[in-house]
Structure 1
Amino acid sequence: MTRASEYNIDPHAFWVDPYPDLRSMRKQAPIVYVPQLNAFLMTRRDDIFENEKKVDIFSSDQPDGLMTQLMGQNLMRKDGEPHMIERKAIFPAVSPRTVKAVWKNAFETFTNDILADIRPQGQADMVKDIAMRISGEALQIITGLTNMTWQELDAVSQGMIDGCANYSGDPEVTTRCNASTAQIDRCIDEMVPVLREKPDFSLLSVQLQAGLSPDQYRANVKLAISGGQNEPRDVIAGLTWALLTHPVQMEKVRRGDVSWMQAFDEYARWMSPVGMSPRRVAKPFTVHGIDLLPEDRVFLMFGSGNRDETVFANPDQFDVSQDAGPSIAFGAGPHFCAGAWASRCLIADVAMPMIFERLHGLRLNGTPRIGGWAFRGPLDMPVAWETGLA
């Protein structure tokens, strides 16, 4: 039996910038064992793309996993028929047709209002004042939790994200996560009778219409909040930062040489907002001569696969002209992100072009902090713009 070789990390340095270590892991072996994470890391793009589909081996069903323990067993932590039943139930809320016919107009309306409100100030924090609010207001209407403010949605999202990435077992992080999930449950309970009386296309409403149980719809709404808040927030702020610090790439977008969607796809490849997805090994399996055993924990490292030098021409460069088609930023196989269409519309079709159109002379007004490896993005980002232009 051949087990994976070890690769040791400095957890703090890995959080600050995981890419040098991920590059070394890809070079060392297809799969490495990282003691500090107590997990086997699969780092090469094609291996992840192929093996994520093998749900009989790399199972999403993880009863002892942090997400299941803290948030309930949502559809992301189910495989096969149970997964597909719930995925089908939520589809009316996030389908391309619904995004185009229902959500896009709402996205345009509130994004316009947000930018009109903040424009006279001439400066702001792109993360906390703009991206966070755009993402939060989108999440309000899509989830159906209109009884939560965008600030509350961001806070509970972060609480759950921190809890699900709390592999060191920090009790304070767990406490904050539990408080976040309890707050969401209270708000769901308030909205259930409202949406039963007047159904709509929101995530909570379509699950009620499909007859899902309280455990099911509560867990899936929490899943949507945990991913649907931080990922658009991080990409809106991060793509803005990337373009402002790469003027040649920005000019390609301004000239129309590439679309906003191409810029979005390249950023999501280059700085994957979701860096990994955990799996439980369900039965013995061998990958490239490396043996995995039942109950091994495997991290599918999307952030690493998206910088695989055997796949991408300029893996470590933000280059809007390169082919980001092989990117696995939204995952692959049956667990491909259900919110991908809404995210693409909100960010590439609405938020990014409107931000650069309305905030004339947008520029950095300080040095942003960027961090994370399981979830990665700017933590803050001071910007300024001209207020005297129409």
Structure 2
Amino acid sequence: MANDASALTGDNLYADPYPVYARLRKEAPVAFFEGTKEYFVTRYDDCRTVGANDRIFGPSGAADRPEARVMGMPNVLTMSGEEHACLRQGIEIDLTAERVRSYVDRLTRPVVQRFVDQIKDKGEANLTMELFEPISVRCIGDVIGLTGTSNDNLVEWFHAMALGLQNVSNDQGVWDRLDAALEDISNQLGALYDVALVKPNNTLMSHVMYGGMPEGKVRSLQEISPTMRVIILGGLQEPGHAAANACAGLLSNSDQAKVMAQDPAAHALRAFDEGLRWIAPIGVTPRVAAMDFDIAGTTIPAGSSVAIVMGSANRDEARFENPEQFDMFRKKKQHVSFGFRPHFCSGHFLSRAMGEIALEEAFRQLPNLRLDPDKELKAKGWRFRGVNVLPARWDA
């Protein structure tokens, strides 16, 4: 590929992966990326083929992958079979649709109100950093049990981890920042573990320790730490970035923003879901090939790392009409932002419910919400992608 914005390089992917993905879908739908030593699968149908075939494309537990460096192994994403199912039981105790409905308002609305109140009178803000990210971080932090940990502390964790996962250039400063965050995470999780060891409680930390285990048995801290890091990384940022992405899509389309403002409660969930398709917050999920496999004219050799590129699948022209456009009224078709079973995102009910509330209240309480014409909207990342600068104004 020529050296242009659509060439498959780490820099291009980080700045804006969508021109790269569009070209790959057309010219090389299964392409080897030297930067991460993995095969990118970029078309919707091919991603589903790989994602649904857990026997051949099982979870990747390779020690040389960035996930091993950032999260540790084994974790819920690298496990399979009985061990995986048992651990998921613990994670999902409070994350079923029914359980989420029973507490999501109580969890989310006061936090949303707190952050809306902080910006309401200013008439302008970066909605990602000042509203959606803080809401997500605080709510999920509280669910985990990190009620005493500041938002700034939690935000630093996931930024350091996300940068570590995308550190294709092997920047030592990124690794140092990651190591400092991981040490802090270990210390704080250790304290939560000690509390729940004395007496089980209703935190996600406690559920992961005891859930699915025989009576009187508990998982060790060492055993659950990698999985808790997965939950911290995905959980803290995903609902906030998904809401920011959806809000950016709405505000970039004044007609849809107007419709949304007229009845936020009626449209918020639809808008949030379209935001998930338009910019997948978690853009890639890794697998490893158990045997040679032919797909889209390419043989993926046994033992190879494979990246299911959900961010590309969600913009596949063969699946979605005008996929580059945000359109909350598009014909409903399933996207793949929450991954594939048996590794489908455990927190999808909570993420959608939180995102719906955050978007609804933003459009309800910030009158004439619009993009700031004097500032630039910015997004970054490819393994994790979000609108990180969402400059907005409203009538204060």
Fold shared per TM-score above 0.5: yes
1:183-262 matches, cutoff 5 A: 183-197=184-198, 199-210=200-211, 211-255=218-262, 259-262=267-270
**How far apart in 2 are the matches of 1:238 and 1:352?**
11
Establish whether residue 32 from structure 1 lines up as the match of residue 40 from structure 2: no
Establish whether residue 376 from structure 1 lines up as the match of residue 385 from structure 2: yes
Structure 1 residues 381 and 255: alpha-carbon distance in aligned structure 2, compared to 1, 3 A threshold:
closer
After superposition, what is the alpha-carbon deviation per residue over 1:113-142, rounded to whole angstroms, capped at 9, x for unaligned? 221232123322212111121011112211
Structure 1 residues 67 and 10: alpha-carbon distance in aligned structure 2, compared to 1, 3 A threshold:
closer
> 1:71: which partner in 2?
71
> 1:353: which partner in 2?
360
> 1:290: which partner in 2?
298
**How far apart in 1 are the matches of 2:210 and 2:282?**
30
Q: Does the 8 Å contact 1:140/1:149 carry over to 2?
A: no
**How far apart in 1 are the matches of 2:387 and 2:129?**
10
> 2:3: which partner in 1?
none
Q: Does the 8 Å contact 1:136/1:151 carry over to 2?
A: no
| Residue aligned with 1:226, SS | helix
Structure 1 residues 301 and 115: alpha-carbon distance in aligned structure 2, compared to 1, 3 A threshold:
same
| Residue aligned with 1:174, SS | helix
| Residue aligned with 1:92, SS | coil
The alpha-carbon deviation at position 78 of structure 1 amounts to 1.3
Normalising by structure 2, what TM-score? Answer: 0.90
**Identical columns (%):** 27
**How far apart in 2 are the matches of 1:341 and 1:200?**
22
| Residue aligned with 1:41, SS | strand
**Greater Cα offset, 51-60 or 189-198:** 189-198
The alpha-carbon deviation at position 198 of structure 1 amounts to 5.2
> 2:214: which partner in 1?
none
**Greater Cα offset, 233-242 or 247-256:** 247-256
The alpha-carbon deviation at position 22 of structure 1 amounts to 0.9
| Residue aligned with 1:327, SS | coil
After superposition, what is the alpha-carbon deviation per residue over 1:216-259, rounded to whole angstroms, capped at 9, x for unaligned? 32222211110112222212222222111101222343455962
Structure 2 residue runs without a partner (length 5+): 1-5, 212-217
1:307-386 matches, cutoff 5 A: 307-348=315-356, 350-365=357-372, 366-386=375-395
After superposition, what is the alpha-carbon deviation per residue over 1:156-197, rounded to whole angstroms, capped at 9, x for unaligned? 011111112223322221221121111111111112233345
**Greater Cα offset, 56-65 or 189-198:** 189-198
Q: Does the 8 Å contact 1:68/1:77 carry over to 2?
A: no
Establish whether residue 41 from structure 1 lines up as the match of residue 48 from structure 2: no
| Residue aligned with 1:231, SS | helix
Structure 1 residue runs without a partner (length 5+): 1-6
Q: Does the 8 Å contact 1:60/1:278 carry over to 2?
A: yes
Q: Does the 8 Å contact 1:264/1:347 carry over to 2?
A: yes
1:263-274 matches, cutoff 5 A: 263-274=271-282
Establish whether residue 15 from structure 1 lines up as the match of residue 9 from structure 2: no
RMSD over equivalenced CA pairs, Å: 2.0
Q: Does the 8 Å contact 2:56/2:290 carry over to 1?
A: yes
1:298-309 matches, cutoff 5 A: 298-309=306-317
| Residue aligned with 1:298, SS | strand
> 2:215: which partner in 1?
none
> 1:62: which partner in 2?
61
The alpha-carbon deviation at position 297 of structure 1 amounts to 1.6
Q: Does the 8 Å contact 1:61/1:79 carry over to 2?
A: no
Structure 1 residues 34 and 68: alpha-carbon distance in aligned structure 2, compared to 1, 3 A threshold:
closer
How many pairs are equivalent? 380
Structure 1 residues 189 and 287: alpha-carbon distance in aligned structure 2, compared to 1, 3 A threshold:
same
AA aligned opposite 1:381: L
> 1:174: which partner in 2?
175
After superposition, what is the alpha-carbon deviation per residue over 1:291-341, rounded to whole angstroms, capped at 9, x for unaligned? 111221211110111111111122111111113422101112211111111
The alpha-carbon deviation at position 212 of structure 1 amounts to 2.1
AA aligned opposite 2:103: V
The alpha-carbon deviation at position 25 of structure 1 amounts to 0.9
**Greater Cα offset, 230-239 or 264-273:** 230-239
Q: Does the 8 Å contact 2:278/2:315 carry over to 1?
A: yes
AA aligned opposite 1:342: L
Q: Does the 8 Å contact 1:303/1:329 carry over to 2?
A: yes
